[in-house]
């Protein structure tokens, strides 16, 4: 059974989607529709950059949705893949819902442009941050956040992305993260989390805002107004959502979870596991890069094979895989 994975912020790169644009008229049509929807030249932004412009959250989010939608359109037109389920990482969830027919494409582009703007406005620059915590269990990362809040006196610090076993991103106050990076050493971990907790490696992320934490509540309120203006439809296949790692056929539930996702954690490990439990053992990563393919290997091991779509050769390999099946 096949599942689709739609990447999130951090997967973008200058040049993404170019081969699809050059080879397929359907791709060019979606680029034009997206550009008209928000008055952005996505051909220039995605293919020429500069990288600094592409990395602006309000540009990154619609550009990723566009490239994922183009990838999904080309695959659905050319490759006989019947999807049994899908999930998208953060902004990728919008792409999954667009492909499942829940949200119209142009409405999706407009809404994620607003989402990026709202998330950037929610927290003044320099007050929030995100940091990857490597080597600890999910439960120990939760404990770590509570302890840092208590000992530093700074809040919030919350798990934001459960990306794979041993890789969790935390988000919140820059002061709390600075305290954590200065104080959470091997001895601290052993004393407060236990001698068998493992070694914590902390990697600060180059992001413009503390996504997926309670500091994003203002953006969540703004996006509630935006998304409630869009007509949501019943999905054509199961989309496992970040907030609960569950799928629903109810458009109202889907909308509510999409709104709550802005300040809630991305349960990506659980989403990937849910798709496997539904019987999906072959996945295509629809969009830029191959981040989710790497995470799938860490989460599922040999229970899942993942095909990317970053070149014509990748498309041919996917076609060959479907024929073999």
Tell me which residues are annotated as active site: 90, 212
Q: From CA 284, how far away is CA 289, in angstroms rounded? A: 12
**Helix residue ranges per DSSP H, the chain:** 18-23, 25-38, 42-48, 51-54, 57-78, 92-99, 105-122, 138-152, 174-183, 186-193, 217-227, 251-260, 268-277, 291-300, 312-324
- How many C-beta atoms lie closer than 10 Å to residue 43's C-beta? 16
Tell me which DSSP letter residue 239 carries.
Answer: B
Cα distance between residue 279 and residue 295, in whole Å = 18
* Structural tokens at position 105: 């494409």
CA distance 112 to 59: 9
Helix (H), strand (E), coil (C) string for 140-182: HHHHHHHHHHHHHCCCCEEEEEEEECCEEEEEEEHHHHHHHHH
Report the DSSP beta bridge partners of residue 240: 247
Contact 261, 41 (CB under 8 A): no
Q: Output the CA torsion sign for 165, 309, 207, 244.
A: negative
Tokens of 209: 């805002």
């Amino acid at each position: 059974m096949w599942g689709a994975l739609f990447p999130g912020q951090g997967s973008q790169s200058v040049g993404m989607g170019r081969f699809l644009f050059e080879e397929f008229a359907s791709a060019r049509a979606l680029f034009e529709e997206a550009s008209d929807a928000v008055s952005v030249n996505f051909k220039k932004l995605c293919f020429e950059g500069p990288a600094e412009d592409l990395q602006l959250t309000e540009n990154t989010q619609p550009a990723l949705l566009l490239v994922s939608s183009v990838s999904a359109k080309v695959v659905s037109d050319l490759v006989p893949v019947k999807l049994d389920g899908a999930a998208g990482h953060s902004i990728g969830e919008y792409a999954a819902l667009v492909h499942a027919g829940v949200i119209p494409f142009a409405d999706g582009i407009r809404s994620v442009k607003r989402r990026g703007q709202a998330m950037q406005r929610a927290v003044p620059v320099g007050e929030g941050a995100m940091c990857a915590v490597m080597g600890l269990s999910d439960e120990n990362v939760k404990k770590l956040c509570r302890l840092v809040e208590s000992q530093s006196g700074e809040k919030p610090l919350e798990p934001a992305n459960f990306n794979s076993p041993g890789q969790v991103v935390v988000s919140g106050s820059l002061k709390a993260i600075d305290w954590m990076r200065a104080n959470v050493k091997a001895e601290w971990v052993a004393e407060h989390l236990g001698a068998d907790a493992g070694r914590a490696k902390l990697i600060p992320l180059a992001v413009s805002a503390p996504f997926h934490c309670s500091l994003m509540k203002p953006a969540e309120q703004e996006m509630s107004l935006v998304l409630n203006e869009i007509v949501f439809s019943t999905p054509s296949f199961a989309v496992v959502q970040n907030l609960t790692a569950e799928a629903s056929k109810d458009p109202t539930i889907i909308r509510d979870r999409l709104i709550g996702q802005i300040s809630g954690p991305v349960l990506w490990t659980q989403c990937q596991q849910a798709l496997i439990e539904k019987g999906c053992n072959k996945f295509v990563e629809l969009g830029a890069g191959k981040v989710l393919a790497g995470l799938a290997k860490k989460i599922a091991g040999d229970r899942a094979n993942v095909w990317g779509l970053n070149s014509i050769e990748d498309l041919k390999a996917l076609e060959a895989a479907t024929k073999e099946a």
